[in-house]
Amino acid sequence: MKGVLMYLKVFSFPPACILNKMSIDRVVSTDVKMAEDIQAKLEKYRTAPFDARFPNQNQTRNCWSNYLDYHRCQKALDAKGVDTAPCDWYKRVYKSLCPISWIQKWDDQREEGTFPGKI
C-alpha cells in the first residue's frame, strides 16, 4: 500500500494494474448491477411496432390514427360499460410516436369541442 500512496503523490493516479488490484471487486459488482438494470429496462421498453399502413419514414399519420383509435376505443368500451384495458395498446403506440406538444394540443381541443377528428 505504501507503494501505491507514493505513486499517487508523484503521478496523482495509479496505473491500471494497481487500480484493478485495488478495486476489481467494486468495479465488477457495479458493472453487473448496471447490466442487470439495463436489461430490466430493455425488457419493459416497448415502442410502436411496424404498421404496414404507414410504411414511410414520416409517421405523422400513424400518430394521428392511433390517437383517434385510442379515443374511439375508450368511447365505445365506456358506452358498453366494459373494461377499457384493451385500448391501452393504442395509447402506448401514440405516446411513442406523437410529440407531447401535439398530444397536449389535441387534448385541449377535445375539451374545448374544437377537435377536428371524428371520435
Q: Which residues of 7-30 are buried (b: 16+ CB within 10 A; e: fewer)?
A: eeeeeeebeeeeeeeeeeeeeeee
CA–CA dist 78, 2 (Å, integer): 74
The CATH number of the domain covering residues in 60-112? 1.10.10.140
Question: CA-CA distances (angstroms) from residue 38 to 31, 33, 41, 81?
Answer: 10, 9, 5, 39
Q: According to the model, what pLDDT value does residue 62 have?
A: 96
Which pLDDT score, from 0 to 100, does residue 27 have? Answer: 54
In the prediction, which pLDDT does 19 show? Answer: 55
> Do residues 76 and 83 make contact, with C-beta atoms less than 8 angstroms apart?
no
pLDDT at residue 58 in the model: 95
Report the alpha-carbon distance of residue 87 to residue 58 in Å, rounded. 24
Spans of all domains in the chain: 2-44, 60-112
10-residue mean pLDDT profile of the chain (119 residues): values are 51 55 58 76 77 94 97 97 94 95 98 95
Query: What is residue 52's predicted lDDT score, i.e. its pLDDT?
Result: 94
